Amino acid sequence: MAEHADDADEFGVLRSKRNATRYQILVEIAERQPAVNQQEVADAIGITAQAVSDYLQDLVAQDYVTKHGRGRYEVTKEGVDWLISQTDELRTFVRHVSEDVIGQVEIESALATTDISEGETVSLTMRDGVLRAMAGDTGGATAVAVTDASPGTDVGVTNFEGVVEYDLGTVTAVSIPQVQNGGSRAVDADRIADLATDHDLVAVAGAEAEAAAAAADLAPDIRFGSAAAVGEAAAKGLDVLLLSATDALSTHTDALRDQNVSYEVVDAAE
């Protein structure tokens, strides 16, 4: 092993600009070998072709790269081992940042219900599917505001403590026959209108469902991306009436099961 190996082990890719550049060059060589265009490598990592040439000479001297002729290079086993060790260090660092650092400074947005000042403790509640914040620490879930806000505006909050307590919503699904089987004309519009009075939102999936909602004099709240939107709405405490064409119903119920959202399918046939 070359004499610079100890230096490579002592100073990881996160601690040395030289090692960071060497790491990038080794990766580029591994992707392009054996025919390596130094200008392409330089362009890829943002340094000069001369700098790439200098680094290549150093990598060859360290036995991390073998030169087979003009423009032909190959990463050695030692070079691969060094790449793996540095990649493991990067992976550990990224895990630390994502779990220990970002997790501690996570910022959510909420709707202010009172005047709030940056740095003030706020109480959090969930209402109408929206996270809401009010000044003071009287609630079971609190956070710290990172922005100023007035009632009705958004506020950033972090440093959460406690749990925002609210009941999960449910989904009532009505299967609307496909048009060749009667479509919206095969369901009871009055029954659908009655069901809607007990729900916070109406979602439709398919032309037959759109027609059924219109027949019941309902304006859908959710028309696009309904499989995901219905589950998210229920997870935030809203009860949803889902009108779905028969051929699309299983897509929605499968998604609801995956999200552990409670649902029932009811019959609204004439």
Q: Is this prediction's pTM over 0.75? A: no
* Per-residue model confidence as pLDDT tens digits over 75-105: 999 999 999 988 888 888 877 766 665 555 5
Helices (H), the chain: 5-10, 17-32, 38-45, 49-61, 77-96, 189-196, 207-215, 226-235, 246-258
pLDDT band at 12 (very low <50, low <70, confident <90, very high): low
The pLDDT score that the predictor gives to residue 10 is 44
Length of the chain: 270
Place of tokens 């403790």: 121
Domains of the chain as residue ranges with CATH = 5-102 (1.10.10.10), 108-162 (no CATH), 171-266 (3.40.1010.10)
Indicate the SS3 state at residue 11.
Answer: coil
- Tokens representing 25 are 């060059």
The pLDDT score that the predictor gives to residue 11 is 45
What does the pLDDT average to over 104-133? 91
What does the pLDDT average to over 28-50? 89
At residue 205, what are phi and psi to the nearest 5 degrees?
-140, 110
The pLDDT score that the predictor gives to residue 146 is 92
CA distance 206 to 224: 10
Phi/psi zone of residue 134: left (φ > 0), alpha (ψ -120 to 50 degrees), beta?
A: beta
What does the pLDDT average to over 201-222? 97
| CA distances from residue 171 to 56, 103, 139, 191 in whole angstroms, order as listed | 62, 32, 28, 16
Give me the amino acid identity at 90.
Answer: L
At residue 198, what are phi and psi to the nearest 5 degrees?
-100, 10
Q: Around Cβ 193, how many Cβ atoms within 10 Å? A: 14
CA distance 245 to 191: 17
Alpha carbon distance, N-terminus to C-terminus of the chain: 83
CA distance 82 to 11: 12
Mean residue pLDDT across the chain: 88
